[in-house]
Chain A
Amino acid sequence: MGKMAEYAFVAGTLSTFLALVGYVFYALSGVRAARLAAAGVPVTTGRVGFVVGPRTTSIGHYATLLGWLGFALLGASLVFRAIATGHGPFSNMYEFSIAFAFGILGAYYWFEQRYHQRVLGLLALPVALALLAYAATVPAEIEPLVPALQNNLLLTVHVATAIVAYGSFTVAFAAALLYLAQPETGRWGLPKPEVLDEIGYRAIVVGFPFLTLVIILGALWADVAWGRYWGWDPKETASLVTWFIYGAYLHARVMRGWRGRKAAILLIIGFAATLLTYFGNLFFGGLHSYSGLG
């Protein structure tokens, strides 16, 4: 089972990479369409993005299929890994990085299904690939769980919830980057600013309650294992920082003058905090120091 997990991981990474290549060509064809349109050649646009000819749509379509395949393979890898280890596949940086990438792909395709903005994939998939590349560099051996992690139910639920939250935040980050990359009026070939604003908001609406749940489950676990629900452990604190930033974002968005660019900047800061929370245990020590890299 451990071997199967590894094969699925490699295949899933490859598939995701090919999907990204597809998205790059898809976006390039959008640029070409923009140039053609500027030159006065009639170009039709569709719901699915820019449609210059049959080729463009089909590249985007295949990229999506490959991405879905990558998502499925990574999911399979996590399942095999869970069977091999006997607990949720979230106990060290190797397992958790694959799970994070899996969460990003899941969140991204959830939004691609609804909003049909493939250009977002151009930003979301590299984040997933970076995590997969990172996973390939850390030890993948199956080790027994250290005593603090020996709580299968909480380990699985606490971290699975984190995956959903982090995946959504990545999509919001991609949307915010695209939002800031264009003028208020929008730029041809990129998703409309209103749509990006909408996607960012929806992603936080999904992710924020999950982050809340992650923190609460973490507090519950801390109470069971360490005897206190809150102790300003660096990882606890970093997750609270993230929670406050996205909380501020949700309030900012209903305020005049904070909509749009400022809100998008908050999403970028929030994602930086998410990464700090995720990688934090590697450098700031504390009770979450069981990355398997010690």
Chain B
Amino acid sequence: MTAPVQPNSYKTGPDERGYFGIYGGRFVAETLMPLILELQQAYDDAKADPAFHAELQALSTYYAGRPSKLYFAEGLTKHLGGARIFFKREDLNHTGSHKINNCLGQILLAKRMGKTRIIAETGAGQHGVASATVAARFGLPCVVYMGATDVERQAPNVFRMKLLGATVNPVTAGNGTLKDAMNEALRDWVSNVEDTYYLIGTAAGPHPYPELVRDFQSVIGTEARAQMLEQEGRLPDMIIAAVGGGSNAIGLFHPFLDDKDVEIVGVEAGGHGIDVENGHAASMTGGRPGVLHGNRTYLLQDADGQILEGHSVSAGLDYPGVGPEHSWLRDTGRVQYVPIVDQEALDAFQLCTRVEGIIPALESAHAIAEAVKRAPTMGKDKTIIVNLSGRGDKDVHTVGKLLGMDI
């Protein structure tokens, strides 16, 4: 594929039809189309309303605990002996991941729109927990669709959602993972258009979701950029984040896109290896453009255009697509997307836990694993920000099983 012309700014998308280059758009059934347009109007109104920003700011500060710290990972830096590594500590947010940023923004939108019922999809359960949390906070009923396979491998999060008052509906269609949960959430939405708000958890789906999720997550990069300038007096040389659907990554990346000297790296789930058919979830490394869940983007698919399930040790990364803005950033070359395989992520998970005393989410461990590769090749005067998108308590069962421990 030929690279598109380099734009003057990488931060102007999407266009008014919801496209980033050829990616994005609004590929939805007619029943949903009026709702998508209504959401777009509501979001445009909210963006222009200082009261909306003030309420979101207050919740972010006093409820979610923002700003999250930019932490110098001294132990990991010493261990690797190269570039200095900083963690953006999204794991310290209320509910334990970056997902709360987006959920707070969207629940305020739902409230403005007069919606009285929240639905969400979830893979690892982090977004489900964050959705159930904000629904509880605002007194709205919440239904979370979760693949049956994920319900099993993320049992602690399922219990948290139930404690928060949400209904968790296991989805058995397909392989019972995130894409199947998203299909089922879309079916629910089509069937309950009057009262229901669909709180999408990642920067994908029909326009305006990729834009609004990015905007709500961009607080990560905006803070990190200011913190780095304050703490180090200059911008980082490299920023790294894991990409499933890509919300934590676009949140970190977006404020840095026009900082030409900052190298940006997105880490996809390499699973068992990129060469293993249907054995990974690296849609941009091992897939091709297609249309699913309302947008055109890179997808894992077979020759006939049937979507593959993908695999990753991390439930939050095994989605066969990716947000459309990432697809565009890939094609323009502004962001490099690389795979990290399961074993590398597991190794990084354990390394970070031992040398930093921080148990990272398996998703975030993919980003750490890339830093483990890169830092030793860079000078000690260089800096890397790694997005520590979530805490790893939810993953201890999975990791324990893989390490042969009975817990």
Pair from one complex = no
